Amino acid sequence: MANSLDHYVPDLANWPSSWSIEEADVAIGRSIVHVLQPFLIELLTQQLAGKTLRRHRDHLWMLGGEIIRRRHDDPDLARRPGQTLLLDLIEEDGGPLIWPRIRESEQNSFDATCRKLYRFLNQAEDL
């Protein structure tokens, strides 16, 4: 499965630095990737179409970037660990509004990925 993940998200190890605004963000980004990685693997097991997999992957990358951006805009969020931020920003109805704003259809698609991630993370907690 690791080879499939490497094929699906070849730059996963670089996501934390791609999101970072300052050096401290890289560690937070790694903790976010740590939470996202099992979900990415789960998506692969669902045998989704390539386009659907890429869309979810891209939305998860956007989510990580939005989490880091919000940490810098809100001092209260800056003190929270990455995993907590992730869990706080997604909910049953979707994810955070992306800034700069994206089209409504893009936000709806992003929210669909966040809802799927939310269900996955809450199912994992129930086990």
Query: Which residues have C-beta within 8 Å of that of residue 117, sequence separation ≥ 6?
Result: 36, 39, 60, 63, 90, 95
**pLDDT at residue 127, as a whole number:** 52
**pLDDT at residue 124, as a whole number:** 63
pTM of the model: 0.92
Beta strands in the chain (DSSP E): none
Give me 107's structure tokens: 């936000």
* pLDDT profile of the chain (127 residues), mean per 10: 82 98 95 97 94 97 96 91 92 94 96 97 74
Amino acid at 62: M
Closest CA to 119 of 88, 84, 92, 93: 92
The C-alpha angle with vertex 93 and arms to 92 and 96, in degrees rounded to 5, equals: 105
Q: Report domain extents, the chain.
A: 2-126
Q: Phi-psi category of 91—alpha, beta or left, where left has phi over 0 and alpha has psi -120 to 50? A: beta
Give me 93's structure tokens: 């109805």
> Using alpha carbons only, how large is the chain's radius of gyration in Å?
14
Count CA within 13 A, CB hemisphere, residue 107.
12
